[in-house]
Amino acid sequence: MMRNGFKWLSFGSVSLVYSTMIIGVYLSSIHQSLSCPGWPLCPNGFLKAPEPSYIIEYFHRIFVVITAGTIYATATFAYARIKTLRRLTILAAFVVSIQIVIGALVVNSRLDIRFVSLHLPIGVALFGITLLTFLLFIRSQPTDALESYELK
């Protein structure tokens, strides 16, 4: 049961990183990256409904919170129970922390090109780390077909 939980947690990390990246790229493509100029919260705060002018930016930030929480949970789980993936998941937690700081700098610097040009590649690296974590974990697990074959 524990192994299945980690599988879904690490898959959730990969999926959320990818989704957050897609929302961020879409946000840039519609030129709304500064539609919510304050960081970390938009003008209406966290719990009030966002205004239409910054709804995509609002959802991007919500996804960041959920994604970071999932990555931190994955790292905590691996640190406690899956020794072979400790370093990789801690790396993911470190990289998502850096990504959050760079995202804050992107907003607070009003899209300074130095920070903007770092933000996407760090996200791509984070996606690679979380994908590698998931694939290494899946690879280390015996499949049901192999288990039933070995029992015969």
Whole-angstrom Cα distance, residue 26 to residue 35? Answer: 13
In a domain, 42, yes or no: no
In a domain, 101, yes or no: yes
In a domain, 44, yes or no: no
Q: Which two tokens stand for residue 21?
A: 């990246």
pLDDT, mean over the chain: 91
In a domain, 16, yes or no: yes
Whole-angstrom Cα distance, residue 13 to residue 110? Answer: 28
Domain with 124 in it: 2-35+51-143
For the entire predicted model, the pTM comes to 0.90
In a domain, 76, yes or no: yes
The count of structural domains within the chain is: 1
pLDDT in tens, 30-48: 999 889 888 888 888 878 8
Q: Is the pLDDT of residue 95 over 50?
A: yes
**Taken in order 69, 70, 71, 75, is the CA torsion positive or negative?**
positive
In a domain, 46, yes or no: no
Tally Cβ neighbours within 10 Å of residue 128.
Answer: 14
In a domain, 152, yes or no: no
pLDDT in tens, 54-81: 999 999 999 999 999 999 999 999 999 9
In a domain, 150, yes or no: no
- Residues in Cβ contact with 57 at an 8 Å cutoff, skipping those fewer than 6 apart: 27, 32, 33, 35, 36, 42
